[in-house]
Amino acid sequence: MPYGRHGMGAALGADGRIYVIGGALSYSKPRGRQEVFIYDTRTDSWDRGPSLNRARFHHAVAGGADGKIYVIGGHEPKLLDNEPSASVEMLDTSVTPWRDEGRGWKSNHDSVIGSRND
């Protein structure tokens, strides 16, 4: 990534690349970011991805069984004092940009969602 951040989320895309999504640059005055960076492990390189519709940090990110990436909740700077958000955005890595998917649960801390194949 071109610079460090905290409160971001990450997920493995269906294309095999790692998507690092949102986050904040400052601990003392955190403001969510819309930026998405994509890491390609095969080439050890970073690319810029499609920006989120809403800036956010401390959100949950999950790769769905449908191959899409979902961003859920977190804090949005447009809300009063970075109040928790219940918005959901979805990215189909084969077709950009992000799409609003309605409302989820309000989350004010990072969450990790994963799956396991036995």
Q: Are strands 111-112 and 60-63 parallel, antiparallel or unpaired?
A: parallel
- Which tops the pLDDT comparison, 111 or 97? 97
Q: Comparing 41 with 102, which gets the higher pLDDT?
A: 41
Residues 6 or more apart whose Cβ sits within 8 Å of residue 26: none
Interval 23-44: pLDDT, tens: 988 777 778 889 999 999 999 9
Res. 57: pLDDT tops 50: yes
Is the model's pLDDT at 102 over the cut of 50?
Answer: yes
Q: What is the pLDDT of residue 99?
A: 66
